[in-house]
Amino acid sequence: MNQLQQLKAFTTVVADTGNFLQLAQFAPRDATTNPSLILKAVQQTEYAPLLAEVVKVHAGEPMDAIVDRVLVRFGLEILKHIPGRVSTEVDARLSFDREATLARARRLVALYEREGVGRDRVLIKIASTWEGIQAAAKLEREGIHCNLTLLFAFCQAVACGNAGITLISPFVGRIYDWYKKAAGSSWDEAAMAGANDPGVRSVRGIYGYFKRHGIATEVMGASFRNVGQIQALAGCDLLTISPDLLAQLQQLEAPLERVLDPAQAPETPAVRFDEAAFRYALNEDAMATEKLAEGIRLFAADAVKLEKLIEAQR
C-alpha cells in the first residue's frame, strides 16, 4: 500500500480544498474549506460558473448573505464526493464578536438544512479566540458542531476541550513557519524535522493531553508544509491535507508507522483557563499571538476579495 492508504488505517484523512473535482482520487472521509481556498477555487475556469449562478439567483440579497450562499454551495458540492463532513467557515472579521458569530453559524447551518443536509455532516469553522470558543460552546449545546481553527497555543486547545467543542485544528505548518523565521540563519532544517518540528510537537502535546484526560474533542492536525510533518503525526485523530501533499503520499510506498497512540499518552496535570488566564497565557506565547492575529487578517482579506468578485457580477 502507498502511504496515503497506510495512513487511513489509523487516522481519518481529510482533504483541505475547495476544489471538489479533485476529491475522488484521494477518497478522503471529510473535507475542510476556508475563505482563501474558496477564493482560489472560484477564480478557476471550472468553478467560475458556480459563483456566477449563485450571484445571479441571489443578487438582491445583502453581501454577507450571498457570501454564505457561495460557501454553502461549495460545501454541498463537496458533500457529493465524500461520505463524511464538510467544514464551512464563519467570516474571520467576526472573530471577536460572539453574538455575530452565533448568528452567522446558525445561518450557515440553516442553509445546509434547507438543502437536506443534516447537522451531522457539517462543521462550522470558527477562529480560536476567546469569543469564538464561547460562541462555539453555545452552538455545540444547540447541536451545531464546530471546528475551532487558527489554533496555535495549548491554552486555546484546552479551552476548546473544556468547552466541549467537537474538533480543533492546530496549525502545524504556520507554527513551523514562525519558528523557522525567528531562528533565521541558525535554523537547522534536518535537526528540526520529524518529532522535533515545533508544529508537530505542539499537536503531539495537545493529542497526548486530550487522551490522558479523556477529552472527547477530536484533534485534527492542519496546515502542513511537507509530508514529513504528516508522517510524524500518523495516528492523530484526523489530519487535513492539501491535494498536493495527498498526491505525494500516494507516491510513497515505504512503511508508515503509527506514531500517536492514546495508550501511550504521557502523565500530565489537568488545567483549566478562565477568560483572564486564557488571555494571559495566549499573550505569553508570542508565536500564537502573532499567528492568530495574522491568520485572522489573511482570512479577512480574502473574504474582502471574494466580496469584490461577487460585487463585480451583480
Judge whether 125 counts as a catalytic residue: yes
The pLDDT of residue 308 is 96
**DSSP label at 222?**
B
Catalytic residue among 40, 125, 211, 305: 125
The pLDDT of residue 314 is 85
Q: Is 112 exposed, middle or buried (0-12, 13-18, 19+ CB in 10 A)?
A: buried
- Candidates 26, 25, 18, 28; CA nearest to 50 is 18
Which CATH architecture best describes the domain 3-313? Alpha-Beta Barrel (3.20)
The pLDDT of residue 177 is 98
- Candidates 233, 232, 235; CA nearest to 263 is 235
The pLDDT of residue 155 is 98
pTM (predicted TM-score) = 0.96
Q: Long-range CB contacts (< 8 A, 24+ apart) of 174-183? A: 174/199, 174/223, 174/291, 174/295, 175/199, 175/202, 175/287, 175/291, 176/225, 176/229, 177/225, 177/291, 178/287, 178/290, 178/291, 179/287, 182/287
The pLDDT of residue 35 is 83
- Per run of 10 residues, the mean pLDDT along the chain (length 314 residues) is 97 95 94 91 92 95 97 96 97 98 98 98 98 98 98 98 98 98 98 98 98 98 98 98 97 97 94 98 98 97 95 91
The pLDDT of residue 180 is 98
